[in-house]
């Protein structure tokens, strides 16, 4: 199917892009990688009047760490940039493990992490990873910039807090207060598919003790789930077997899966539990080796 008729603008600065959105009428959309928006337009699930393509806006394709350790990911940083990133490999184990699991190589070449957060698909992998890491989104509009924590950014399936004339210019991951550990596991029907279940675990460790924990769940609810009670059960604890089992039980309880063509609700809940245990056992080994 072809998309409905729409107006297309390709501004060359952020200011022009925001202006185009402001003047764009009732229904304008930002185009970043186009890997979610274009299929939706072709199916006519989305029929914007105006598409504002930000790919000609310079200076948005970065990911870098500030001197204090804050990680910044620009709006045109592609999944593939993150997959190949030495910075992530060295400093962000959860992100490094997730990057090659997003879609397939073609989608990863164009699609962006920030676009994925904005798209707010309950099966989007990056939202769980950045939720576990305590990340946020920086939005820029006519009134300037504001930083929105990710746990409040997504307001429902395919909905976010951005005003119609705001652009998400970057995503932020706060600095770690200890050694980072963790990972991302994803159950998919075949390579390149969306998650049946995904689990992100992000830990900060001091020796054998967890100083901060975050757990994000993909595909097991109406939006990304922050398993906060499970994460709280890890904080201040060593990764002992009983601590791991309790966190896994709490994460499984936080999941809100539905039975569908990908599997039963019971199976998905069981996989959440299994993935939390696997990731924490793996983290345990990582921490021991690093000690
Ligand atoms: C075959 C296929 C398989 C896929 N598999 C997976 C998968 O396994 N896991 C996964 O997580 N994703 C998957 N995706 C989605 C993919 O990761 C997309 O790249 C991502 O969801 C959106 O990023 P994008 O840059 O392509 O955004 P776009 O498609 O350009 O935009 C998506 C939405 O976000 C908005 N938006 C984008 N950027 C901004 C911005 N800077 N400011 C404000 N709004 C913005 C757009 O207006 C639109 O509403 C898949 C896609 C395809 C086509």
* pLDDT for the residue 289: 39
Nearest CA to ligand 1 atom 20: 116
The helix (H) or strand (E) run that includes residue 206 is: strand 197-206
Distance in Å, CA 193 to ligand 1 centroid: 14
- For residue 29, which atom of ligand 1 is closest to its CA? 47
Distance in Å, CA 112 to ligand 1 centroid: 6
| Pocket flag, ligand 1, residue 29 (CB < 6 Å) | yes
Ranges of residues in the chain with a pLDDT under 70 are 25, 283-291
Nearest CA to ligand 1 atom 40: 168
State both tokens at 17: 């892009």
* pLDDT for the residue 283: 62
| Pocket flag, ligand 1, residue 37 (CB < 6 Å) | yes
Which structural domains are found in the chain, ordered by start? 7-53 (3.30.43.10), 63-173 (3.30.465.10), 179-290 (3.30.390.50)
* pLDDT for the residue 7: 94
| Pocket flag, ligand 1, residue 18 (CB < 6 Å) | no
| Pocket flag, ligand 1, residue 224 (CB < 6 Å) | no
273 CB contacts (<8 Å, ≥6 apart)?
A: 248, 249, 251, 252
Residues 283 and 182: beta-carbon distance below 8 Å: yes
The helix (H) or strand (E) run that includes residue 77 is: none
- For residue 37, which atom of ligand 1 is closest to its CA? 29
**How far separated are the first and last CA of the chain, in Å rounded?**
57
Percent of the chain past pLDDT 70, that is, above it, reads 96
Which one of 47, 74, 111 would you pick to mutate in the ligand 1 pocket, going by the greatest count of ligand atoms within 8 A of its CB?
111
- For residue 125, which atom of ligand 1 is closest to its CA? 11
pTM given for the model: 0.95
Distance in Å, CA 128 to ligand 1 centroid: 14
| Pocket flag, ligand 1, residue 36 (CB < 6 Å) | yes
Q: How far apart are CA 77 and CA 168, in angstroms?
A: 12
Query: Would you list the DSSP string of 103-169?
Result: S-HHHHHH-BHHHHHHHT-TT-HHHHHHHHTT-EEEEEETTEEEEEEHHHHEEETTEES--TT-EEE
252 CB contacts (<8 Å, ≥6 apart)?
A: 269, 270, 272, 273, 276
Distance in Å, CA 3 to ligand 1 centroid: 17
Nearest CA to ligand 1 atom 2: 103
* pLDDT for the residue 284: 53
Pairing of the two strands 167-173 and 159-160 = unpaired
């Amino acid at each position: 199917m072809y998309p409905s008729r729409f107006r297309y603008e390709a501004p060359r600065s952020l200011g022009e892009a925001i202006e185009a959105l402001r003047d764009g009428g009732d229904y304008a959309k930002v185009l970043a990688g186009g890997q979610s928006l274009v299929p939706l337009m072709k199916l006519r699930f989305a029929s914007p009047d105006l598409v504002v393509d930000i790919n000609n806006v310079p200076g948005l394709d970065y990911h870098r760490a500030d001197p204090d350790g804050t990680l910044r990911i620009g709006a045109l940083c592609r999944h593939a940039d993150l997959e190949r990133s030495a910075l992530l490999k060295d400093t962000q184990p959860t992100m490094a493990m997730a990057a090659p699991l997003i879609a397939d190589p073609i989608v990863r070449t164009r699609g962006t992490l920030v676009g994925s957060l904005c798209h707010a698909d309950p099966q989007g992998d990056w939202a769980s990873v950045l939720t576990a890491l305590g990340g946020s989104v920086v939005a820029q509009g006519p009134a300037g910039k504001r930083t929105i924590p990710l746990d409040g950014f997504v307001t429902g399936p395919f909905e976010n807090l951005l005003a119609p004339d705001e652009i998400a210019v970057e995503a932020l991951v706060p600095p770690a207060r200890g050694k980072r550990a963790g990972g991302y596991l994803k159950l998919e029907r075949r390579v390149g598919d969306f998650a049946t279940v995904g689990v992100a675990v992000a830990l900060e460790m001091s020796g054998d003790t967890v100083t901060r924990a975050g757990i994000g769940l993909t595909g097991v609810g109406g939006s990304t789930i922050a398993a906060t009670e499970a994460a709280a059960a890890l904080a201040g604890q060593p990764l002992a077997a009983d601590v791991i089992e309790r966190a896994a039980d709490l994460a499984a309880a936080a999941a809100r899966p539905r039975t569908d063509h990908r599997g039963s609700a019971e199976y998905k809940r069981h996989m959440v539990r299994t993935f939390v245990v696997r990731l924490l056992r793996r983290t345990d080994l990582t921490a021991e080796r690093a000690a």
